Structure 1
Amino acid sequence: MPRSDERPGPQRTPPARLRDALSAALVALACLLAPLGAFAAWAAYGLADTGRYVSTMAPLAADPAVREAVADAVGDGVVRELDPGPMRGTIGPFVQDAVRSFTRTEAFRTAWEAGNRAVHGAVLHALRDERPPRGPVTVDLAPVVAQVKQQLAADHMPFAHRIPVRRTEVAVLPAEDVPGLRKGYHVLDAAALWLPLAAAALAVTGIAVAACRRRALTATGLGTALGGALLALAVALGRHLTLTDLPDPAHRPAAAAIYDALTATLRTTSWLLLALGLTVALASWLTTRRTSTAHPAPATPTPAPAPAPSSRTSV
């Protein structure tokens, strides 16, 4: 029967193994959500912002591969509009040369920026609109033509004032693709906010519940670095698949330049995650090593040898 003067001891904490298992699960989930959150933030705040998108695409107007692809597309379109006959083969090369010359002018840069702004604004409006699509997403190129006309007139180009400015609707997105893209846009828009917060909360909780917090911090750093490396690998794999699926191999250099420009921020984020994770893991490991060196474990005392039996015999 227990004595009445005994006091209950302190409550025992959960076993260290259970705490470490819970910490490992939380840290692993946080490291998985970190690259996903970076991707969602890139899509929601980078691609979905018209100003950032136009600023990203503007330097490509000076890229030779992009200019060549635009010249081929525009030149082929103009030639197709010509009446069929023997003159088409004669005029075609002159049209291609004229378009290539145009892509080296300031007016082309104006048209490039205005066209990208118009197309991006039309697609973004369709993704944010809650009404069912009534048809394909179209963009009116009349404002683009008006800006090009104004630039050519400022450059004293002959007959620039005679360029007609008509409403020209160009389809940029089929109607059947709008519902799926709209759902994906809303998911990314919500994930861009909540995934980074959830990853940070899970990482902090996982470190807090760990039996050895420094070890959990090291694991978090390594997991973050692994997530950044996987994100960089996904960007590279997406580039390979995008260029491989192009029907015309001649346009791959232009597509590669556009892909690299759009994913530059995502690549930078992946390398930042990799560097940050490795830095945290290395700092935690060095701190643990320094602490163990400064405070070594106490040596186990060696038991004293038993005394030898006495040789004297009692009488």
Structure 2
Amino acid sequence: MNPTAAPGPSDSGGATNGEHALTPEERAEYERLRRLAAVRHRRVRRAGSSVLLVLTLLLAPLAVVAAWVQDTVSDTDRYVQTMAPLASEPPVQDAVINRLTDRVVERVDVGAVTDSLTKALQDAGAPPRVVEGADALTAPLQDAVRNVVDRTVRGVITSDAFQQAWEGANRRSHAAVVNMLTDDGGGALRAEGGTVQLDVGEVVDQARDRLVDAGFDKAAAIPDTDRTITLFQTEELGKAQDAMRLLDVLGVWLPVLTVALAALAVWTAPAHRVMLMITATGVGVMMVVLLVALAVVRRVYLDSVPPTALPPDAAAAIYDTFVRFLRDSTRTLLVVSVITALIAYLYGPGRPARAVRAVADRSTTAAGRGLGRAGVRTGSTGRRLADHRAWTTGGIIAAAALALVLWNHPTVGAVALVLGVALAVVIVLAILAAASGPTDRAADRAAS
């Protein structure tokens, strides 16, 4: 059946070439079936895009975490950037200083010193009052020893040499994060049983050498086994390690899969712009959820660390330092999502969107005409820009997106910079299009 066939004359009075025209009833039935098929097609596309959208939103937070884990583990520079600030965090420095000072002071027998002094005074026939005064020296001597040891250890921990040594040690052992997540052992950061421990062996060696040089021979007795600080205690560490292993494996492909699903969701939907706006908004919401989850995990982590093992401020500094790049990535993706949703909305038919576009058009047109009155005319180039405005704007947006993809670890500042440059280019091209002067299509065709 050919719905476009038209009736024509025929010697036999039938249809021409074996075809016949549709009657009004047949055409109405054909149109009804075609509309029904179109509705079914749109429903299928809408259902498919909805499924793809749900998968995208569920995978988005996991993709961000997986990319962070993979990046931190595989990139030595990134790992050093993650761990290096711990050496300069005052709460962490104080925790290490107090731990080492306690260990040294515990091994300095001040009581034996005062006992020897008392015995020597008694043997020398000193008055009883003098002998009793020697016994009272125990507490002042204890404080003096602690002050000297604290000052010596603090000089080691707060020195630039220690921070450089810390960075060097982390650069040589950047696989420590892998060891912690996979429970392989070794490295500066490792998991043992239900605890995550920080190895401060190099700090112990430096402090012990300086104390011995300062005359504290007892400092040489600091055992090599006392070289770790417990950062995290939990019975769920094994499950977390299993989850992190899976994220590490998917670290490369999960972000790619998430982006592909988001693109398919937008492409499959009947209304591409609306689905782009919904997808961007949904991803932004999931990034907010991830930030909230990080805050909850932080609270759980701080509650799980006993104050006797690590002061709360030191534990907070360690957690904030360790996840700061994950937070930065989450905030960056949140900003990108908001910008994408806003751009998609501004291209729509809404009254505020039309008002913004009208103001922008009037402003660029006025600026372009001002250039024209000043004698600056873009001629055929400006008219081509005006004729292909949608293509040029789309190309600029695509270039901005590509710049962010190729940017190494983009931050919110990088997004603002790229957005500002792209917006400036769009405005300049719009002004140049408006400065083309009087339209002369024939001259343009002849010139081309």
- Structures share fold, TM-score greater than 0.5: yes
Q: How far, CA to CA, are the matches of 1:241 and 1:129 in structure 2?
A: 21
Distance 1:287-1:140 versus aligned 2 partners, 3 A rule: closer
Task: Give 3-state SS (helix, strand or coil) of 2:252's partner.
Answer: helix
TM-score by length of structure 1 reads 0.70
Equivalence for 1:76: 102
- Tell whether the 8 Å contact from 1:227 to 1:273 is kept in structure 2 after alignment: no
Q: How far, CA to CA, are the matches of 1:45 and 1:7 in structure 2?
A: 67
- Tell whether the 8 Å contact from 1:40 to 1:189 is kept in structure 2 after alignment: yes
Q: How far, CA to CA, are the matches of 1:286 and 1:180 in structure 2?
A: 45
Equivalence for 2:341: 281
Equivalence for 2:245: 186
Within the candidate set 190, 200, 215, 2:259 is matched to: 200
Q: How far, CA to CA, are the matches of 2:110 and 2:295 in structure 1?
A: 44
* Map 1:119-138 → 2, pairs under 5 A: 121-122=175-176, 124=178
Task: Give 3-state SS (helix, strand or coil) of 1:288's partner.
Answer: coil
1:24 has 2:50 as partner: yes
Within the candidate set 70, 86, 93, 1:60 is matched to: 86
Q: CA deviation at 1:68?
A: 0.9
- Tell whether the 8 Å contact from 1:140 to 1:167 is kept in structure 2 after alignment: no
Equivalence for 2:269: 210
1:94-141 per-residue CA deviation (whole Å, 9 max, x = no partner) reads: 33343234323234324533554576545635867989xxx9899997
1:208-252 per-residue CA deviation (whole Å, 9 max, x = no partner) reads: 111111111111110111111111111222222222222118711
Distance 1:185-1:35 versus aligned 2 partners, 3 A rule: closer
Q: How far, CA to CA, are the matches of 2:333 and 2:89 in structure 1?
A: 30
Opposite residue 274 of structure 1, the aligned amino acid is L
Q: CA deviation at 1:205?
A: 1.2
Distance 1:86-1:96 versus aligned 2 partners, 3 A rule: farther
Distance 1:139-1:104 versus aligned 2 partners, 3 A rule: closer
- Tell whether the 8 Å contact from 1:210 to 1:216 is kept in structure 2 after alignment: yes
1:129-161 per-residue CA deviation (whole Å, 9 max, x = no partner) reads: 989xxx9899997766777799x7xxxx7689x
Equivalence for 1:309: none
Within the candidate set 278, 288, 301, 1:242 is matched to: 301
Distance 1:37-1:241 versus aligned 2 partners, 3 A rule: same
- Tell whether the 8 Å contact from 2:280 to 2:338 is kept in structure 1 after alignment: yes
Distance 1:168-1:113 versus aligned 2 partners, 3 A rule: farther
- Tell whether the 8 Å contact from 1:48 to 1:124 is kept in structure 2 after alignment: no
- Tell whether the 8 Å contact from 1:29 to 1:202 is kept in structure 2 after alignment: yes
Q: Give the superposed CA RMSD.
A: 4.5
Q: Which runs of 5+ in 1 are unaligned?
A: 295-315
The alignment-based identity, stated in percent, is: 32
TM-score by length of structure 2 reads 0.51
Distance 1:138-1:119 versus aligned 2 partners, 3 A rule: farther
Task: Give 3-state SS (helix, strand or coil) of 1:259's partner.
Answer: helix
Equivalence for 2:154: 100
Opposite residue 342 of structure 2, the aligned amino acid is L
Opposite residue 106 of structure 1, the aligned amino acid is D
Q: How far, CA to CA, are the matches of 1:130 and 1:70 in structure 2?
A: 25
Task: Give 3-state SS (helix, strand or coil) of 1:289's partner.
Answer: coil
Q: Give the stretch that moved more between structures: 41-50 or 262-271.
A: 41-50
Q: How far, CA to CA, are the matches of 2:103 and 2:204 in structure 1?
A: 16
Q: Give the stretch that moved more between structures: 4-13 or 181-190.
A: 4-13
1:138-189 per-residue CA deviation (whole Å, 9 max, x = no partner) reads: 9997766777799x7xxxx7689xx97x994657899x99976764443122
Aligned residues: 284
Q: How far, CA to CA, are the matches of 2:55 and 2:307 in structure 1?
A: 41
Q: How far, CA to CA, are the matches of 1:75 and 1:149 in structure 2?
A: 10
Q: How far, CA to CA, are the matches of 1:145 and 1:72 in structure 2?
A: 12
Within the candidate set 163, 168, 172, 1:109 is matched to: 163
Distance 1:66-1:125 versus aligned 2 partners, 3 A rule: closer
Q: How far, CA to CA, are the matches of 2:240 and 2:278 in structure 1?
A: 37
Equivalence for 1:5: 19
* Map 1:246-257 → 2, pairs under 5 A: 246-248=305-307, 251-257=311-317
